Every structure is written in C-alpha cells, then in structure tokens.
Amino acid sequence: MARQTVPGETAERRTLPAEDPAAQPVDVDAPPERRVEVHEPDRGRGAVLGEVIPEFVVLAGVVYLFFLAGDFSSRQQPGQLGPAFWPRLVAAGLAVALLVRIVQVLRERKQPVVRVVSEFDDIEDDDTEVHWPSAAVAMGLAFGYVVGTMFLGYMFATMAFLGAFSWAGGQRRWVAPVVAVAGGMVMTYVFVGVVYVSVPTGVGLFDTVTVAVYRLLGIQ
Amino acid sequence: MDVIGDMARALIDGGIVFWALVVLGVFIGLAVGVLPGLTFVMGVLLILPFTYSMDPGQALVLMIAVYVAGTYGGALTAILLNIPGEPNDVPLTRDGHLMARRGRAAEALGWAALAALFGGLVGWLALVFFSQLFASLALKFGSAEYFAIVLLGLTSVLALSSDSTVKSLIALFAGMLLATVGVDDIYGAVRYDFGTDTLRDGINYLAILIGVYALTEALTRFAERFGGKAGQQPANVRTTIPGLSAIRSRAGSFGRGMATGAFVSAGPGVGSTVGSFVAYGVEKQFGKHKDELGKGSPSGIIAPQAASTASVSGALIHLLVLGIPGSGASAVLLGVFQINNINPGPTIFTQQEELLATIFVGLFVALFVMFVMGVLAAKPMIRLLRMPEVYIAAFIVVFAYVGAFALRQSMSDVFIMTAFGVLGFFMVRAGYPLAPLVLGAILGPLAERYFQTTMIRNANDWTVFFTRPLSAALLAIAFVVFLVLTYRAIRASRVAKAAREEAMAAQAH
C-alpha cells in the first residue's frame, strides 16, 4: 500500500485493493489530519449500469410526472400560479439533481474512487454484509403480513408473522411459537382493548374466531 | 403566561398518571437507546398508536420523556460495549469506551449522566424563558418569513448531511415531490392520484417516517442476519457521579456542549445527532483538554452528550413557536398536535397555556427521572441486550404496522408504510441518506403552502421575499448555508481530483 501526500494538503493517503465498487467520494470538508482512501473501481459495464439504471428509471418517472402536472385542474384565478407550479418546480429540481448524479457516475467510472476517512469510521463502520436471500425473505414476510391482515385479521396475521419472522431469523427453539401466539394476543389486547384501534378482524372463519377471542379477552 | 405557576398547577393536576407516564417514557427512551436497531425517533414513532386515546398533554409528556431519555440511553452501550446505541452517541464512544477499558467505566457513565442532565436543563431554560420571546417575534412573521424559515431548514438538512450532497438533494426533492400527492391545500386540486382513493387522500408523512425509520431498520437487520458488533456484557456495571471539583475542571466542556446543542438545534430540520458531532468538533478545536480527546477524556463524553440532550429543547422551540418540526422526533410530536386538532405556532402561548405548562413541566421532570434511572438502572438496561435481536426486529414491524394503520384507520397507510420501508432499504444500500427524504416530505408541503400564500397575497410579486426585512435576513442565511455547501463540494472535489491524479500516476509507474 503506497502512502502518498496530496499536493497542497497534508492528508495521508493509502491506495487500497479493490473494494466496494459503489464507494463514492464523500462531500465532507477534510481537515489536513484526515486520511483519504483511494479505491480502484469496478470497471465492468455491469457495475456502471447498476449504478445509473435506477437513476435513469427515476428520471423517466420524474419527467412523466412533470408533464402529468399539466393536467391538474382547479378553481385557480387568472394570474395565480396554480396547483401545477410547485410539483413542476420540485420535479425540475429532482431531474437536474438526477442528471448531475448520472453525469458524475459516468465521468468517474474509470477513475479511482476517493473517500475521506472520518475519525469515527472505526465506530460507525459496520462491515456486515447483506444476505440478499434473507432480505428477500424479510420483504416477502413484510408484504405477506399486510396482505395476511386483510384476510386472516390482525390477530392471526400477527401470530403468523411473529412465528415466521422468528423462525426465518434463526429462532428454532420451542419459545418461538409461544412468543408468536402470546405476542399476537397481547398486541391485539393492547391495541384493540386498550388503545381502541379498530384493526381488521379478517374474513369468514377468521373473523368469527377473532371476535370470539375478543369476547374472551373482555374486548367489546 | 405565568410559567412557574402554570407548571406547578400542571404538576399537581397531572397526579399519579403524570408521574407514571414520565417514568414509563424514560424507561422506553433508555431501552430504545440501549437496544440495537432502535433509535429514539423510532421509539417515539412506535408509541404513537398508544397515544391516540390519550389526552394531548399526556401523550406529549410520554413522547417527550422517550425523546429526551433516548438521547442519553445509547451512551450506556457506547461506553460499556463500544457500540453507540444511537447515532448521536458516535462522538462519545471512543473516549467513553477507552475510559471503561481503563477501569473508569463508572466515572464515564457518571459524566454522561451529568452531561445529559445539565445539557437538558439548559435547553429547558431556553425553551421555557425564550420561547415566549420568540413567539412574540413570530407573531410578526407572515407567510414570506415562514417560507424563508422552511427554506433555511431544507438547506440546513443538505449542509449538515455528511453524505454526498447530490444524493442528499435527490432524496430531499423526492420527499418533496411525494408530498405533493393528494389534494392540494391552496387550490383544492387533486394531484397524482392515478384514479385511486389511496393516493387521493395523500401520503401521510408519518407513514413515510415509520416506513423508513422503523421498517427499513428491521429489514436491514434481518438481511444482515443480525450480525455486526456484539460486545461482551460487562460483569460489573455501576455509575459514579464526579465530584464538584472535577465538574468545575470540565465546566468549559459542559458550556461548549450545551451552547452548541442549543445553537445548532436553532436551525430547523437539525437534530441531536448533528448537534453532538458539531459539539465534539468544537471541543476538539477550542477545548482546554482538546489534546486529550480521543484518548479517554471525559470532555469527549461531556460535550457531545450535553449537546444531544440540549438539542431536544431547540427542536421543541421550533415546533411550538413556528409549528415547524425541528427534528424527526419532533415531526412525530407535530402529528400528535394535528391528531388533536391543535395548531402549534405563536398563538399557542395564549390559547393553550395549560398544554404548554404540561409540556414544560413534563420535560423538566423527565430530565431528573432520566438522570436517576440512568444512574441506578444502567445494569438492568444493559441486560436488555440479552434479548434475541430477531424478536426486537419482529416487534418493531408489528408496532410499525399498527402505527401506520392507526393514522387513518386504513390499510392503505400500512401498504404505503411497507413500500417506504422497502424503498428505504434499497436507498440505504445505494448510499442515499433517509433523513433528507423524510424532512423533504415534512417541510415540502409547508414550503409550498407559505410560498403560494405569499404569491397570492402579493399578486405574484416574488420580490416581497426580499423586501420584507425578516424574510430577507433569513433568505440571506439560507444563501450563506448554500454557499457553505458549494464551497465544501468544490473543496472535496479538488481533494478527490488530486488524490485520483496521484493514484493514477502511481499506477502508471
């Protein structure tokens, strides 16, 4: 690793092996005693595309919303700015920012990535990798909970969610289903009976059983 | 308003319920500070559904107790386990943990507790005695001035974000654009509903807040398989309060921390995390013990902790006097006001004196309860870490769902909240900060309302923003903040360019 001094700065720099291809320069005013890390970027087209495609998609959406704003009708008086003014202003700002970002990524794709090392990096940095299958499971459970609530009702959906989430999260002991069932009932009692939030009771048999459980718990 | 008298009456009228709510709120605040994956903003958010059936005064006392205790709770794990419980605890972690490793853990915990108490008390004094003064000034504000303040808040969010400015700007504008969905306040036009009732009702900023703060964190921790730092539980946890002479020797650190916290949080949209980092930076530049910082110095704990807790009052001043949230947590408090059809703003000081007195006395009592519980209950609080994290994450999701549902008793808000939770997950992975998204969603509608109102009242004469002295002054400050942003970006770009050139030259050789 070469230690080099930046001309005009006394910052120490180290050249590190290729690491995070998505590493971006940080817009932080770097006092001289801070180190600057230089990473070799992933030069693959896939990496670059992966960085700009989301921005392009959002940009396309923003342009569409900009033009859609022309259809807003209202009872505005002549000479007033109207309901489309602000959304168009914001959409224009967002589009410009996205374009700047896209240009940044494309211009810097073949250049080493520079990052100012913060004095708190060793405390803030969390090197934990994301396990994408687990992420997909978590998101699936999250959406499943919402959909499940509509059919099973809040109480049963909560029990199912707590059980599935704990199991998928690695809890295999007998405590997990107990926590799921007890947790579902406690949450139901607290939110329905104490806080008076009218959560869904589900459909068909689930509705019938939920209402029966409410009566057992003394919830009117 | 007879502040002391009203506070005494509020304390007496509150009775045992008041004390129970304060103790409960402080316990929750300390717990969320300690538990991984939970922040005090989430703590305030997740108890929101419990407050719907409460009297507004009780609800606000509970949430403020969570808020203020949450700014201190994370210091326990930061000091004992080298794991900052909250983002605002990062600056004090190194000094705190080094002290702990040298056998001075009890002293470090004592400094953190004292700094939280003193910082909170100074902030409280500013809240109680200056907010009325500020309110009388704010009565002179028109929509032009309010627009300038909100613009200053939006610019401050960018300037104080340590992430890429362009990414912060994208997140900010995205939040502002999302907030335009639904029926517009001024003209009554339906915008971006795509023919659905869900979108016609608009996207409630609390659903976004719950999604990106609570659900995103739960998804992230699950996706990381609850890995990351795991500290060994210390065998002996106790707190020693430093003596008077020790406190006197660190008086400068206390003063700088409290002043920084109060000053920094005077900017709208700036929370305790920024205050904490800025206070550490100020201490490093000007502190008497600056050479000791980072090597196990109590000053490295005192300044950031005092600033964190002091900033709670700064956020409350903005919320109460202007109706503009000063932080993410105070944005949730704004939700409580709105649910109870109370409009915070300068007139609240004449129309809601009892409520204000309850808030003031609630914060005051919460500070002392936080101090006592923090000192006595550090050990049981740390024991909470034995709970398997997967259960914490699961219950975060459960609370988040009810919190979103209870906003309008609608599953649509739950869907929206879930969508933002997933969006937040991908934004974090792509390096986009979430705070500008949330503050854009909160401040954007305010900016539009004040801007449009000003233009309508002044026949589209945009120069009114510059001809009104207060508005012009605030816009000038916003412009200075913008210049700081630009300077910082140019400077960082030059450093980066020079570093790249050196690296490429080294490769060529």
Q: Under a CB-based contact definition with an 8 Å cutoff, are residues B188 and A75 in contact?
A: yes
Residues of chain A with pLDDT under 50: 1-33
Q: How is residue A214 written in tokens?
A: 């409410």
Q: For the CA atoms of B204, B208, B210, B211, what is the dihedral angle to 10 degrees?
A: 140
**Partners of residue B150 in chain A, C-beta under 8 Å:** none
| CB proximity list for A129: less than 8 A, separation 6 or greater | B224, B227
C-alpha to C-alpha distance for B467 and A147, rounded to whole angstroms: 54
Helix B105-138, helix B3-34: angle, nearest 10 = 130
Count of structural domains within chain A: 2
The reply to whether residue B84 touches residue A85, judged by beta carbons under 8 angstroms, is no
DSSP assignment letter at A129: P
Q: A83 and A162 share a domain?
A: no
Count of structural domains within chain B: 1
B208 residue type, one letter: I
Q: How is residue B348 written in tokens?
A: 């609240």
pLDDT on residue B139: 84
**Partners of residue A124 in chain B, C-beta under 8 Å:** 84, 90
Q: A136 and A55 share a domain?
A: no
Q: A104 and A42 share a domain?
A: yes
**Partners of residue B388 in chain A, C-beta under 8 Å:** 171
pLDDT on residue A126: 59
The domain containing residue B167 runs over which residues? 3-508
The reply to whether residue B222 touches residue A165, judged by beta carbons under 8 angstroms, is yes
Q: Does A29 touch chain B if contact means CB atoms closer than 8 Å?
A: yes
The reply to whether residue A15 touches residue B500, judged by beta carbons under 8 angstroms, is no
Predicted complex ipTM exceeds 0.95 = no
The reply to whether residue A83 touches residue B52, judged by beta carbons under 8 angstroms, is no
**Each residue's pLDDT tens digit in chain B (509 positions)?**
677 888 888 888 888 999 999 999 999 999 988 887 788 888 888 888 888 888 999 999 999 999 999 999 989 888 988 888 888 888 899 899 999 888 888 999 999 999 999 999 999 998 998 888 888 888 888 899 999 988 988 887 776 665 688 898 999 999 999 999 999 888 888 999 998 888 988 998 889 989 998 899 899 989 988 876 555 566 667 888 889 999 999 999 999 999 888 877 766 666 788 888 889 988 988 888 888 888 899 999 999 999 999 999 988 988 898 888 877 888 889 988 888 888 888 888 888 888 999 999 999 999 999 999 999 888 887 777 788 889 989 999 999 999 899 888 899 999 999 999 999 999 999 889 888 898 899 889 999 999 999 999 998 888 999 999 989 998 998 888 888 777 877 777 777 777 777 777 776 76
Q: Does B495 touch chain A if contact means CB atoms closer than 8 Å?
A: yes
Distance from CA of A68 to the nearest CA of B (A): 8
Scanning every residue of chain B, which has its alpha carbon at the shortest distance from the alpha carbon of A68?
A: B192
Q: Under a CB-based contact definition with an 8 Å cutoff, are residues B176 and B447 in contact?
A: yes
pLDDT on residue B480: 87
Interface of B with A in 360-399 (CB under 8 A): 388, 390-391, 393-395, 397-398
Q: Does B444 touch chain A if contact means CB atoms closer than 8 Å?
A: yes
pLDDT on residue B172: 93
Q: Does B1 touch chain A if contact means CB atoms closer than 8 Å?
A: no
Q: A151 and A54 share a domain?
A: no
Q: Which of A99, A123, A156 is best to mutate for the B interface (most B CBs within 10 A)?
A: A123
Interface of A with B in 60-79 (CB under 8 A): 62, 65, 68-69, 72-76, 79
Q: Does B180 touch chain A if contact means CB atoms closer than 8 Å?
A: yes
Q: Under a CB-based contact definition with an 8 Å cutoff, are residues B208 and B420 in contact?
A: yes
The reply to whether residue B425 touches residue A135, judged by beta carbons under 8 angstroms, is yes
C-alpha to C-alpha distance for B49 and B55, rounded to whole angstroms: 13
Give the position of tokens 């000034």. Answer: B137
Q: Does B326 touch chain A if contact means CB atoms closer than 8 Å?
A: no
DSSP assignment letter at B182: E
The reply to whether residue A161 touches residue B394, judged by beta carbons under 8 angstroms, is yes
C-alpha to C-alpha distance for B257 and B95, rounded to whole angstroms: 15
The domain containing residue A72 runs over which residues? 3-124
| CB proximity list for B129: less than 8 A, separation 6 or greater | B3
The reply to whether residue B398 touches residue A139, judged by beta carbons under 8 angstroms, is no
Q: Does B222 touch chain A if contact means CB atoms closer than 8 Å?
A: yes
Scanning every residue of chain B, which has its alpha carbon at the shortest distance from the alpha carbon of A197?
A: B406
Q: A7 and A93 share a domain?
A: yes
Distance from CA of B390 to the nearest CA of A (A): 6
The reply to whether residue B418 touches residue A28, judged by beta carbons under 8 angstroms, is no
Q: How is residue A93 written in tokens?
A: 């700002």
Q: A120 and A179 share a domain?
A: no
3-state secondary structure of B191: strand
The reply to whether residue B390 touches residue A165, judged by beta carbons under 8 angstroms, is yes
Q: Under a CB-based contact definition with an 8 Å cutoff, are residues B94 and B277 in contact?
A: no
Task: Kindly report the three-state secondary structure assignment for every residue of A131-177.
Answer: CHHHHHHHHHHHHHHHHHHHHHCHHHHHHHHHHHHHHHCCCCCCHHH
Q: A138 and A117 share a domain?
A: no
Task: Tell how strand A12-15 and strand A36-39 pair up.
Answer: parallel
**Partners of residue B94 in chain A, C-beta under 8 Å:** 120, 123
Q: Under a CB-based contact definition with an 8 Å cutoff, are residues B290 and B250 in contact?
A: no
The vertex-B56 CA angle with B51 and B60, nearest 5°, equals 70
Q: Which of B176, B397, B498 sits opposite A142 (nearest CB)?
A: B397
C-alpha to C-alpha distance for A71 and A83, rounded to whole angstroms: 10
Q: A106 and A140 share a domain?
A: no
Question: φ and ψ at B267, to 5 degrees?
Answer: -80, 135
Q: For the CA atoms of A196, A200, A204, A209, what is the dihedral angle to 10 degrees?
A: -40
Render pLDDT for A136-146 as a digit per residue (tens, 0 to 9): 999 999 999 99
Interface of A with B in 179-198 (CB under 8 A): 179, 183, 187, 190-191, 194-198
Q: A68 and A154 share a domain?
A: no
Q: Does A1 touch chain B if contact means CB atoms closer than 8 Å?
A: no
Q: A120 and A146 share a domain?
A: no
Q: A42 and A96 share a domain?
A: yes
Q: Which of A98, A124, A138 sits opposite B170 (nearest CB)?
A: A98
Which residues make beta-bridge pairs with A115? A37
The reply to whether residue B177 touches residue A187, judged by beta carbons under 8 angstroms, is no
Q: Which of A68, A139, A200 sits opposite B219 (nearest CB)?
A: A139
**Partners of residue B502 in chain A, C-beta under 8 Å:** 4, 6-7, 13, 38
pLDDT on residue B177: 96
Q: A119 and A140 share a domain?
A: no
Distance from CA of A162 to the nearest CA of B (A): 6
pLDDT on residue B95: 92
The reply to whether residue A81 touches residue B223, judged by beta carbons under 8 angstroms, is no
Interface of A with B in 80-99 (CB under 8 A): 80-83, 85-87, 90-91, 93-94, 97-98
Q: Which of B191, B421, B495 sits opposite A83 (nearest CB)?
A: B191
**Partners of residue A100 in chain B, C-beta under 8 Å:** 166
